[in-house]
Chains A and B, each alone.
Chain A
Amino acid sequence: MNKMMRRYVPFMKAGIQTLITYRLNFLGFVIGGLIYCFVMFYLWRSVFESNGGGMFLGFSMTDMVIFLFLSNTTGQLIFSSVGEQIGEEIRDGSITMRLLKPVNTDLSYLFAELGEVLMKVIVLLIPMVLGLEIYRFCVTGTLVFNPVNFLWYLLSAALAYLISFRVNLCFGFIAFYVKNLWGIGILKNSVIGFLSGSLIPLAFMPEGLRVCLEYLPFASMNYTPVMLYMGKYAAWEILFRIGLQIVWALLLFGLSKLIWFGAIKKLCIQGG
Chain B
Amino acid sequence: MIYAEHLRKEFKKTVKSPGLKGSFKALFRPKKEIVVAAEDISFHVPEGEILGFIGPNGAGKSTVIKMLTGILTPTSGFCRINGKIPQNDRKKYVREIGAVFGQRTQLWWDLPLQETYLVLKEIYEVDDDRFQKRMAFLNEVLELESFIKSPVRTLSLGQRMRADIAASMLHSPKVLFLDEPTIGLDVVVKDNIRQAIMKINKEEKTTVILTTHDISDIELLCDRIVMIDKGKNVYDGSLRELRENFGQSRELIFETDPSATLTTDQFRNGLNLKGNDLVIEREKNTFKVRFNSAKIPVGKMLSYTLSLTKVKDISVKDADIEEIIRNLYRQGEFMDE
Q: Could you tell me the distance between the alpha carbons of A72 and B59 in the complex, rounded to whole angstroms?
A: 52
> Min CB distance, A131 to chain B, in Å?
31
Within 8 A of A (CB), among B118-138: 118-119, 122-125
B103–A272 CB distance below 8 A: yes
A103–B95 alpha-carbon span in the complex (Å): 9
B-facing mask of A1-25, CB < 8 A → 1, else 0? 0010011011101100110011000
Any chain A CB within 8 A of the CB of B192? no
Residue B212 at the chain A interface, CB threshold 8 Å: no
Asked if A17 and B71 make an inter-chain contact with CB atoms under 8 angstroms apart, the answer reads no
B159 lies within 8 A of chain A by Cβ: no
Q: Is A190 located at the chain interface by the 8 A CB criterion?
A: no
Q: Is the CB of B110 within 8 A of A21?
A: yes
> Interface segment, A35-43, A152-160, A243-251, A263-271?
A263-271
Q: How far is B11's CA from A10's CA once the two chains are assembled, in angstroms?
A: 36
Interface residues of B in 63-117 (CB under 8 A from A): 66, 69-73, 90-92, 94-95, 97, 99, 101, 103-106, 108, 110-111, 115
Cross-chain contact A10 with B72 (CB below 8 angstroms): no
- A97 engages B119 (CB within 8 Å): no
Q: Pick from A18, A21, A104: contact of B91, CB below 8 A.
A: A104
CB A5 to nearest CB in B, in angstroms, measures 10
A163 vs chain B, min Cβ distance (A): 25
A93 lies within 8 A of chain B by Cβ: yes
The reply to whether B71 and A269 form a contact with Cβ atoms under 8 Å apart is yes
Q: Is the CB of B91 within 8 A of A265?
A: no
CA gap between A104 and B95 in the complex, in Å? 12
- Contact among B11, B92, B104 for A93, CB-based, below 8 A: B104
B104 pairs with A102, CB closer than 8 A: no
Residue of A nearest to B93 (CB): A102
Proximity bits, A215-227, B CB within 8 Å = 1, else 0: 0000000000000
Q: Which residue of B lies closest to A17 (CB)?
A: B111
Instruction: Bits for A94-138, please: 1 = Cβ < 8 Å to B, else 0.
Output: 101101111110000000000000000000000000000000000
Chain A residue nearest in CB terms to B168: A100
A100 near B94 (CB under 8 angstroms)? yes
Q: Which residue of B lies closest to A18 (CB)?
A: B110
* A97 touching B123, Cβ below 8 Å: no
- Does B73 lie within 8 Å of A265, measured CB to CB? yes
Q: Which of A18, A96, A264, A265 contacts B104 (CB 8 A)?
A: A96
Whether B172 is near chain A, meaning CB under 8 Å from some CB there, is: no
Nearest CB in chain B: distance from A113 CB, A? 14
Q: How far is the CB of B30 from chain A (nearest CB, A)?
A: 11
Cβ-defined contact, B94 with A102, below 8 A: yes
B148 to chain A: closest CB distance in Å?
16
Give Cα distance in the complex from A3 to B125, angstroms: 9
Residues of A within 8 A of B233 (CB): none
Contact with A along B122-162 (1 / 0, CB 8 A): 11110000000000000000000000000100000000000
Contact of B122 among A7, A94, A97, A99 (CB under 8 A): A7
Q: A96-B66, A267-B72, A268-B11 are in contact. Are A102 and B122 (CB under 8 A)?
A: no
CB-nearest residue of chain B to A268: B11
- Bound complex: CA A100 to CA B101 (Å): 11
User: With A10-B119, A97-B101 known to touch, is A102 a contact of B92 (CB < 8 Å)?
Assistant: yes
Interface presence of B264 (CB below 8 A): no
Whole-angstrom distance between the Cβ of B235 and the nearest chain A Cβ: 23
Question: Do residues B91 and A14 form an inter-chain contact, with CB atoms below 8 A?
Answer: no
Interchain nearest-CB distance for B156 vs A (Å): 20
State whether A269 touches B72 (Cβ < 8 A). yes
- In the assembled complex, how far is the CB of residue A176 from the closest CB belonging to chain B, in whole angstroms? 12
Cβ A6 vs Cβ B11 within 8 A: no
Q: Which residues of A contact B105 (CB under 8 A)?
A: 97
Q: Which of B71, B91, B108, B151 has the most CB of A within 10 A?
A: B71
Give the distance in Å from the alpha carbon of A93 to the alpha carbon of B115 in the complex.
Answer: 23
Give the residue among A14, A17, A264, A268 with the most B Cβ atoms within 10 A: A268
Contact A96 B125 (CB under 8 A): no
Check if B62 is an interface residue, CB within 8 A of chain A: yes
Select one of B66, B108, B111 contacting A269, CB under 8 A: B66
Shortest beta-carbon contacts, A-B, top 10: A10-B119, A102-B95, A97-B106, A18-B110, A21-B110, A10-B122, A102-B94, A99-B71, A102-B91, A268-B11
Residues of B within 8 A of A (CB): 11, 62, 66, 69-73, 90-92, 94-95, 97, 99, 101, 103-106, 108, 110-111, 115, 118-119, 122-125, 151
User: 13 extra interchain contacts, Cβ-Cβ under 8 A, other than A10-B123, A99-B94?
Assistant: A7-B123, A18-B111, A21-B110, A21-B151, A96-B101, A101-B123, A102-B91, A102-B94, A102-B123, A103-B91, A104-B91, A268-B72, A272-B103
